[in-house]
Amino acid sequence: MSSGNRLLERSLKTLGVAFAPPLGQTPTGLGIDSRTIGPNEIFLAYRGEHFDGHDFVAQVGQRGVAGAVVRSDWDGPSHLPLARADDPNALLGRWGAAQRRIWGGKVVGVTGSSGKTTVKDLLAAGLADGSGDTVLATRGNLNNLIGVPLTLLRLGEEHRLAVVEMGMNARGEIAQLSRWAAPDVGAIVNVGAAHSGMLGGLDGVRRAKLEIASGIAPGGVLVLPEGLNGAPLRPDLKVLRFGEGEGCDVQVVARRPSGTGQHLRLRAEGQTVEVDLPLPGPHQGGNVAAALAVGLGLGLDLQRMARRFEAMTPPVGRMNRAGDFGAVTLWDDTYNANPDSVLAAWRAIEEQAALGGGEPVLVLGTLKEVDPADPAWGRLTGALVSGRGRLVVVGDEALACRFQGMGSRCQSFATQEQALVALADWWPEAGAVVLKGSRAARMERLLGGVQERMNRIEMRGKA
């Protein structure tokens, strides 16, 4: 967007806010972080719990920003063009919504307890038309009350479609995000244990995810997994279902694991869609079906979408292949975790290990923000106790106690360093190893340690 985003000033003016003096040139974007703001971007002085963006207006001025959005009563020194608002924090969401309105293209909103980032990435790849960067998609974890407006404010005249991921920490947040984004198609990937502890159980999560329907454009499409009770639904919305059942609008018919991922066969509106997907695990069939259901709702060519799925690169930390060390494949699923997503990762490496005849090994850090009474725990422990392979729990003795039925196949270590030593001992028996945990567990650090140690061992073997 080096040529500038002309929509930024236009959308701001619709809210009765303008820069004085006027901006000297068209801004290239907007940011709230003084450390990463770029030249000719607009700086919005966001106030957080431990910082106030107004303290950095002078600093960003030295970095060549186009202007700054500040409180109406702010009287700090600045040579920048300033736009004043009673509450810049509140303005951010309204500004994002205004940008979406005047842009006027198609928006897809995606939420779910797990898998929403994978579906977002599938859609970003599948909706591209090959003519350049015409699909805007959420970057990183910008899926909350701050990130969604920032995503909407990236919308430019060059974009045809936008894929907006929506996360939540409390009831009502998805409704707010959906109203700002006003999606033409809203998709719920699944409803699981994530945040169930703070939402009163699984039904609370279901209700929170269904809030996405409140902001969908009139006559739009709501994509739901089979079996999810969507009542009460807006009668003007078209509902599309995906899953494995015969009654689904997009049905997963068959799947076959491979060393690079899996082959999927799906059926939608009487046509068969085949996909060689570079992502492992039975749960990915549902993610692909959800993405194709969105394409169906938009009236797109599903065969073309499938070809683009095959070329996608999995994001770091979300079940991507992190290395092959001898006969063992290392998988990186460190970004986050809840019981359902841990079970999905386990199923994936069970299949991958079976292809080579080795054992699956799950290395699991602590799990946060989950309901200890959620039924998903029973499914997870049952799968690990009845299966083959090993579980390594890092830094959470209470979590390890849930899997005592595995006997000696489950071991617990207080530190990542201790776990790393044990992994090196077990490595020759493994076929596939996956690392997973909540953000707080920082399992990517252990991943780096595993890669470094295995590389050293391989180098010694070649010497």
Note whether 119 and 258 are same-domain residues: yes
On whether both 220 and 350 belong to a single domain, the answer is no
271: in domain: yes
Q: In three state form, how does the secondary structure of 240-270 look?
A: EEEECCCCCCEEEEEEEEECCEEEEEEEECC
Closest CA to 96 of 143, 172, 149: 149
Q: Are residues 116 and 232 in the same domain?
A: yes
Q: In whole angstroms, what is the distance from residue 347 CA to residue 455 CA?
A: 26
Residue among 184, 186, 189 at smallest CA distance from 160: 184
Q: Which of 310, 328, 351 is the last residue of a domain?
A: 310
Alpha helix locations (H) across 324-401? 339-356, 376-386, 397-401
**CATH code, domain with 161:** 3.40.1190.10
* Domain boundary, last residue among 26, 53, 88: 88
Location of structure tokens 């001898």? 326
| Residue 1 resides in a domain | no
Give me the pLDDT at residue 278, please. Answer: 94
pLDDT of residue 457: 77
The verdict on 203 and 235 lying in the same domain is yes
131 lies in some domain: yes
Q: What global pTM score does this model have?
A: 0.90
Same domain, 446 and 374: yes
Is residue 193 in a domain?
yes
Query: Could you tell me if 71 and 137 lie in one domain?
Result: no
136 and 248 part of one domain: yes
Residue 415 tokens read as: 């530190």
DSSP label at residue 184: S
pLDDT (0 to 100) of residue 1? 40
Q: What is the pLDDT of residue 428?
A: 85
Q: What is the pLDDT of residue 372?
A: 82
Q: Are residues 305 and 325 in the same domain?
A: no
| Structure token pair of residue 205 | 């999560």
Q: What is the mean pLDDT of each run of 10 residues along the chain (463 residues)?
A: 82 97 96 96 96 97 96 95 98 99 97 92 91 86 97 97 95 97 97 64 84 96 91 84 96 95 96 97 96 98 97 88 92 92 94 92 90 85 94 94 95 96 88 95 96 83 60
Q: Is residue 95 part of a domain?
A: no
In-domain check, residue 222: yes
- Nearest partner of 88 among 103, 107, 74, 104, judged by Cα: 74
401 secondary structure, DSSP code: H
Q: Which residue, 53, 88, 123, sits at the end of a domain? A: 88
| pLDDT given for residue 199 in this prediction | 65
DSSP of 263-329: EEEEEETTEEEEEEES--STHHHHHHHHHHHHHHHHT--HHHHHHHHHT--PPTTSSEEEEEETTEE
Read off the DSSP letter of residue 23: P
Closest CA to 157 of 133, 179, 140: 133
- Can you give the residue range of the structural domain that contains 192? 104-310
User: Which residues, 6 or more positions from 203, have their beta carbon under 8 angstroms from its beta carbon?
Assistant: none
| Residue 2 included in any domain | no
| Claim to verify: residue 146 and residue 279 sit in the same structural domain | yes
* Whether 114 and 229 share a structural domain: yes
Residue of 371, 379, 320 whose CA lies nearest to 117: 320
Distance CA 98, CA 82 (A): 19
Q: What is the CATH number of the domain that holds 19?
A: 3.40.1390.10
Q: Provide the domain count of the chain.
A: 3
